[in-house]
A and B are shown apart, each in its own frame.
Chain A
Amino acid sequence: SQTIHQWPATLVQPVGSPLSLECTVEGTSNPNLYWYRQAAGRGLQLLFYSVGIGQISSEVPQNLSASRPQDRQFILSSKKLLLSDSGFYLCAWSVGGRGELFFGEGSRLTVL
């Protein structure tokens, strides 16, 4: 069966520090991968999605970036965090065009 792992689960970072969140999927090949952010009152905001290695689409211009170094690995990064980057970050995967998303357990980021 397919599983998705996301870490770290929680982190508290100072403004201006770097960020790296990692997500891996097991049990499937060539998944579509996504990063969403959930901030209070703003629902699930799509940040990045990828249909293959090295293929990243950005939906929101900001100080975050994403990379897909391997087929089932997706990384969210920032060189310098802002207060507004605080939120609950969710990695997700889907099988090609089928649509259904499977979410990881999420990473709660607090920027102080």
Chain B
Amino acid sequence: GENVEQHPSTLSVQEGDSAVIKCTYSDSASNYFPWYKQELGKRPQLIIDIRSNVGEKKDQRIAVTLNKTAKHFSLHITETQPEDSAVYFCAASLAGTALIFGKGTTLSVSS
């Protein structure tokens, strides 16, 4: 089955800096790659996703890139703000099957 590796496990940046989180997946058939943000004590919420027919997707300060050949995808957050502090999870799945998540990255943005 699918296996998703995520790193780093923790990331500390200064406000205004960029943050990058990377994930690799094992099943070359996977075609859906979302990123979730989880604030302390709350449920994870989707922030951006990408499908295998696209190499990059942007939404304001957030972007995701996908390299299907290398089986890895990354989350990029620019101009970080204190409210970006949270745990971020990447995931992968084949359409119609369950999402398999990475172990999460705790992002801390200090002002």
Binding site for B on A (CB under 8 A): 32, 34, 36, 41-46, 49, 57, 59, 90, 96-101, 103-106
Contact A103 B45 (CB under 8 A): yes
CB distance A96 to B101 under 8 Å? no
Whether A43 contacts B43 by the Cβ 8 Å rule is no
Q: Which 4 A/B pairs are nearest by Cβ-Cβ distance?
A: A97-B96, A43-B103, A44-B101, A99-B32
Tell me the dominant secondary structure on chain B's binding face.
Answer: strand
Residues of B within 8 A of A (CB): 6, 32, 34, 36, 42-46, 49, 89, 91, 93, 95-96, 98-104
Among B6, B95, B98, contact of A46 (Cβ-Cβ < 8 Å): B98
Name which residue of chain A comes closest to B31, CB basis: A99
**Cβ contacts A to B, 19 pairs, < 8 Å:** A32-B96, A32-B98, A43-B89, A43-B101, A43-B103, A44-B44, A44-B91, A46-B99, A46-B101, A49-B98, A96-B96, A97-B95, A97-B96, A99-B95, A100-B34, A100-B46, A101-B34, A101-B46, A101-B99
What's the minimum C-beta distance from B26 to chain A, rounded to whole angstroms? 15
B104 touches A43 (CB 8 A): yes
Contacting residues, chain A, for B103 (C-beta < 8 A): 41-43
Closest chain A residue to B51 by CB distance? A99
Return chain B residues, CB-CB under 8 Å to A41: 103
B43 touches A104 (CB 8 A): yes
For B49, the chain A residues whose CB sits under 8 A away are 99-100
Closest residue to A6 on the B side, CB-wise?
A: B43
Residues in chain A near residue B96, CB distance under 8 A: 32, 96-97
Contacts of A44 in B (CB 8 A): 44, 89, 91, 101, 104
